[in-house]
Structure 1
């Protein structure tokens, strides 16, 4: 008999997406939870068990923004959000739709490479900005 027990120390992956269109990247202002409300991030969310990071990002962008996107490449670095949650960032391209703040956000902005410092980023997201800026310049 196979008894699968979930390991409480297992790390769950959270994906954030640097969604790029025409040399600009999408920033989303959090509306919840209160600890980060009003701060900006790259949209995304938790990967489900058995789901690839790329698929999780594509699903989360559809759920949170109502758009179809394709995950392109994982950006360097990992960040511990809290014990058991590890954040990875991906570059993604917009395939279809116009992003709308459907869940967890109240405002969206497309930022060019020289505008990345114009919003108050959540710390983890701020750390990945140099990689995003390189993508926007290429």
Structure 2
């Protein structure tokens, strides 16, 4: 699962620090669904762990993206930060807020690239509040 968090027309991107083959590449925050969790529960937990914020999980973004030689899929959802929270890079080496014209300014992980392609159409309509 991964979260597209948009505030003031910019999407949150996070830089991986590990494993070595992914370090320095960028992704949307998120992680694996644990047994007994729904997609939304997993994404809410991952945002608390990785960013220190509570989120409300909304609509899907883009198609399922196959991972791990087809043994898993990446599902991406819009996520709204609640309670005036401010995301912090608790498990990533860096974070950036990217406008539509800046989406290609970072080297995305291959699994995130199909989602990046969906974002320009979304960035104007979601997340209209201050970071």
- Give me the TM-score of the superposition, normalised by structure 2: 0.88
Cα deviation, residue 50, structure 1: 2.0
1:81 to 64, 67, 74: 67
- Within 2, Cα distance between the matches of 1:128 and 1:93? 17
Q: Distance in 1 between matches of 2:122 and 2:25?
A: 22
Task: Quote how far apart the aligned CAs of 1:132 are.
Answer: 1.8
Tell me the equivalent position of 2:24.
38
The worse-fitting range, judged by mean Cα deviation, of 66-75 and 34-43 is 66-75
Is 1:63 paired with 2:52?
no
Aligned length: 123
Relative contact order (C-alpha < 8 Å, sep 6+): which is higher? 2
- Residue from 98, 108, 117 that aligns with 1:111: 98
Equivalent residue for 2:8?
A: 22
Unaligned runs of 5+ in 1: 1-14
2-structure distance, mates of 1:135, 1:109 = 18
Max Rg structure: 1
The runs of at least 4 aligned residues of structure 1 exceeding 4 Å deviation read none
- 1:48 and 1:67 map into 2 onto residues whose CA distance is 19
Give ranges in structure 2 of 5+ residues lacking alignment. 126-131
Shift of residue 137, structure 1, vs aligned partner? 2.5
Relative to the length of structure 1, the TM-score reads 0.84
Q: Tell me which protein shows more strand as a share of its residues.
A: 1
Indicate the residue corresponding to 2:90 in structure 1: 102
CA contact (8 A) 2:65 2:114 kept: no
Q: RMSD of the TM alignment (CA)? A: 1.2
